[in-house]
Structure 1
Amino acid sequence: MKKLIIYIFSLGLLISSCEDIVDVSNPNNIEVRSFWQNEADAVSGVNAIYNMFYKPGTYSRWIWFRFDLASDEGFSSSPWIELAEWTRFIYNNYNFWEGNGWTYRDCYEAIFRANQVLYYVPGIEFQDQASKDQVLGQAYFLRALYYYNLAILWGSENNSLPIVLEPSKPGDTPEGHPVSDVWEQVENDLQNAIEMLPPQWDDNNLGRATKGAAYALRAKCLMQQHKWDEALQDLEWLVNGDGAQYYDLVPNYKDNFTHFNENNMESVFEIQYSDIHKAPAGDGDFDIDPNLGLNRGQFFAPPGIGWTDGEARPWIVEEFRKELNLDGGYDIRLKESLFYEQMAEDFPGNDKIYRFGMEVWNQDNYRNRVFIRKYGTDYYRDYDDYHSPVNVRLIRYADVLLMYAECIANLPSGNLDEAVAMVDRVRSRANMPKLEVNYPEATLTKEVFLKRLQMERSLELCFEGHRWADLRRWGLMENQEGVNELAQRDPDFNNFVVGRHDCLPIPSSEVNNNENLDQNPNY
């Protein structure tokens, strides 16, 4: 079972106090002056950082609107107009909470919690140094993860993002930094994490950050900066080095998206979710019984099941159906990723959408639409809600292999055959033919290979939160030619302004209240 969730569920709140105004202690709060005393406090402190995964502003809910729906893979036709507009590059209110402010705030709250651990734990006595290093290593990893998210979503070369490395205090006005400084900080944090984290944890601690997770996250950071050689070195540890013994692709693609085979060998870093709850889901930061479930399914499920605030662009179905597998059928990843009108014809027996049959495609609110199946719960129940127990595989080994291929192909000395072999390894798990069968030109030149890889990543990883970072890395939003290509798949990109919309606006409240921050370009 998900032991890490149990630790987090039982965790008391860690709230730092302001400077004392009156010498009165609130017996309901844990104060800094009475906390950070022993090893148990240190472990609780690092658990509090993991607890941020259950906040709606991060991976429980709203971050997926930024990573998945703003990309060319998805969109929103929500009746909540402002919510839908924020996936269409129509930003009228920079303080819009669900579309911008909440995720921004929660990233920095997670960083604050990590900073507490990194500030106080070095002064705590542990029974052994290895245990202390593991606590600190997790804090470095988690701080790096949230700075990575800030860089991907809000990063620009303006002095827009604060880099805060100690517990903040009310009234602080931290200096803004360009995204290049943020990347440097992420790299430094992950170097510490790599040195301190174990390659594996025991069964009681599954879900905690590992050395492999730190290597993979740093590779992502380096790739965003086009530091292909350095990224390849990090990925080498997972693909051909000491870490290769811990990772592989699972035989069944679907096993990456259910709660039946979690923390498997394909999982490099996995967020633990649970359907344990005592009350209706709430958005409060300090609920005594927090919701530990994944909320995403409730927002992305089809009409009559969820809110359907997010759905898929039809081009993904068309792309999947361009080729057949080695048995003459369609790619199994299509079945497991999407609900669409021809799903029962393409996959015999695939004729249920939660509790509905294929007749729903005759309804106006279904016809010609494609809905997101990945990370839904239709495989074991006929409804979705705010309490999904399905873990999010934030970094999968398939992603690592495709990143490895991309790095090789971007190096002048890279062996294209080796890059092709990595992609073929991922395709083989889905019973798809080698690239040379249907895309022979992609095996002959690096330029064609890299363009094909853009599609291979979507077929394997669609709606797993990678596409926005991919589009930024590939430079498709840096010029009008690239934006026009995206607009052919996603008409929302007709609203996209080059030099502006590749990053989000900093919430107005942050810029207005901190003279040391600049707004992002052209906002």
Structure 2
Amino acid sequence: MKHLKIILVSFSFLYLLSACNKDELDLASPNDLTTVQYWKTPSDAEKGVNSIYAMFYKDGLWARWIYFRLDLTSDEGFSQSPWTELADWTKFNYVNYDFWEGNSVTWRDTYKAAFRANQVLAYVPNIEFEDNVRKSQIIAEAKFLRALHYYYAAILWENVPLVLEPSSPEDLPAQNTQEEVFAQIESDLNDAFNDLPLEWDNFNIGRPTKGAVKAILAKMYMQEHRWQDAKLALEFLISGQGAIYSLVDNFEDNFTDNNENNSESVFEIQFGDQRLGGTGEGADAAVSSQRAQFFAPRNIGWSDGQARYWLVDAFKQEANMQGGIDERLKYSLFYADSNTDFGTLTYGRNWEWGAEETWFKKGSRSYYRTNEDYYSQVNWRLVRYADILLRYAEVLNELDMTADAYQYVDMVRARSNMAPLATAYPQIGNNHDQFLDRLKIERVLELCGESVRWEDLKRWGDLDTQASIDEIITRDPDFNNFVIGKNNRLPIPLSEVQNNPNLNQNPNY
């Protein structure tokens, strides 16, 4: 059962235009509240902040299209969709920069989320509360959510406008550098940290915590190679006040609706199937994920997104401590030999695939149904503790503390019955580069298909040299189209650039 009840709120604003300049023509609609009329009570504030959470359920973000950018554009995935333009946008063939599903809708929904957060931050401070702790929490939630959306904007487009006040259609915001965006994210998150709790009660599970703040801070610091800052942020979750997380015993529990918001979840998007509407602003708007429908194999879903087969091979390179296959493979990917490798897993599904085809399994509902639809209730674990542990190992390695990093990789490996890293790969020793190379594989085995690979490739510099691109091509031939210094970021939608003289298109587009 979902604990956080998201209230979807549509804010309509009346912009008064009068060609005749006569006051009697400025009519106020009795059905639409203006900002002056609306932001009056604590209830208004609650609805306002909940409307930011509602953006998770929009097409451009975590309901559907952002996975195409983060998973399929990376070397973990690709598309063979019959919709040619959609497939091309996972192959770096960006012809129409305004292609809605590939670019514009994610830009739109990112700024809708920022718009809603900005309203809360502008108007809630002026509302009188009896419970000022709750007032501070609402403001902190808005800052966290604004920072989260700007983080992914910086990962995808890099040089984006920072809109920090309630905006109007005629605004022409200035463009900011990725460094400036990261600086604002850092400021918002540090502010949010002060007023968010370590944990919420059951009714409010799904709202950000102090741990979630430190996790996103650490992700950002790592992208900037601020290793010491990242170390301090991660230590809050590992050994500090926020060390309340642990790995669950069953790896699969991170990808079904059976054990959601568990001890491994640092921040989780709350999905549900209680409403079967679209992704608009109506009262019946869905609060579900469409990822499984679009990534599911043929005959079960649309198969617009597939996983690369090299992932299957990666799982089979090292046997577990009983000599068998790493069982994370069973819960991570659909592939032709899965029944042979692990016994019957298809639950009556009518598979249609080739010998070396594979699909992402995490977040699917194969554990209890034979098809997918647009209304998956499976929560998306945006950050989980296994990721935190592997990130901490990476940070220690970058700080010349490689010997100390092994234990955190081993914690993740032990859950899946894999031997300690030093036992399996004694040749690594304390060699920084060899440890990082192995850690790159460890992150694939634990986190493939969880929308972290694109930022990983960027952080490691693997998109910056032809030698590293050539290596990626051996896993993903779509990278034959990759242009260094260009395709490490998306083009800004053309209409945005044409309509705003303060925006420049990203380099080399």
The interval holding the TM-score normalised by the smaller chain is: over 0.9
SS in 2 for 1:201: coil
Residue number in structure 2 paired with 1:452: 438
CA contact (8 A) 1:442 1:449 kept: yes
Q: Aligned-residue CA RMSD in angstroms? A: 1.3
Say if 2:420 is the partner of 1:434. Answer: yes
1:100-499 equivalent positions in 2, closer than 5 A: 100-155=103-158, 160-244=159-243, 246-277=244-275, 279=276, 281-283=277-279, 285-350=280-345, 352=346, 355-356=349-350, 360=351, 365-412=353-400, 414=401, 416-499=402-485
Name whichever of 397-406 and 443-452 sits farther off: 443-452
Say if 2:501 is the partner of 1:518. Answer: no
SS in 2 for 1:162: coil
Q: What do the CA deviations read for 1:30-49 (whole angstroms, capped 9, x no partner)? A: 33122110111111110000
Task: State the shift of 1:444 in Å.
Answer: 2.8
Unaligned runs of 5+ in 2: 19-24
CA contact (8 A) 2:16 2:26 kept: no
Q: What do the CA deviations read for 1:33-66 (whole angstroms, capped 9, x no partner)? A: 2211011111111000000000011001000000
Task: State the shift of 1:20 in Å.
Answer: 6.2
Residue number in structure 1 paired with 2:28: 25
CA contact (8 A) 2:347 2:369 kept: no
Q: Distance in 1 between matches of 2:267 and 2:444?
A: 19
Q: What do the CA deviations read for 1:167-218 (whole angstroms, capped 9, x no partner)? A: 0012100000111100101100100011111111000001001110000001
CA contact (8 A) 1:46 1:139 kept: yes
Task: State the shift of 1:150 in Å.
Answer: 0.6
Residue number in structure 1 paired with 2:490: 504
Letter in 1 for 2:14: S
Residue of 34, 37, 56 corresponding to 1:34 = 37
Q: What do the CA deviations read for 1:205-246 (whole angstroms, capped 9, x no partner)? A: 0100111000000110110000000011011000000111x2
Q: Distance in 2 between matches of 1:501 and 1:95?
A: 16
What's the % identity of the aligned pairs? 51
Task: State the shift of 1:417 in Å.
Answer: 2.4
Name segments (4+ residues, structure 1) moved above 4 Å: 19-22
Q: What do the CA deviations read for 1:485-513 (whole angstroms, capped 9, x no partner)? A: 11111000010000100000000000000
Q: Distance in 2 between matches of 1:453 and 1:18?
A: 54
CA contact (8 A) 1:303 1:366 kept: no
Letter in 2 for 1:3: H
SS in 2 for 1:161: coil
Letter in 2 for 1:249: L
Letter in 2 for 1:296: R
C-alpha distance 16-422 of structure 1, shift in aligned 2 (>3 A)? farther
Task: State the shift of 1:19 in Å.
Answer: 4.4
Letter in 1 for 2:210: K
Q: Distance in 1 between matches of 2:322 and 2:33?
A: 61
Letter in 1 for 2:49: V
CA contact (8 A) 1:18 1:170 kept: no
Residue number in structure 2 paired with 1:3: 3
Letter in 1 for 2:360: I
Letter in 2 for 1:330: I
CA contact (8 A) 2:208 2:267 kept: yes
Say if 2:55 is the partner of 1:52. Answer: yes
CA contact (8 A) 1:305 1:354 kept: no
Unaligned runs of 5+ in 1: none
SS in 2 for 1:269: strand
Task: State the shift of 1:371 in Å.
Answer: 1.3
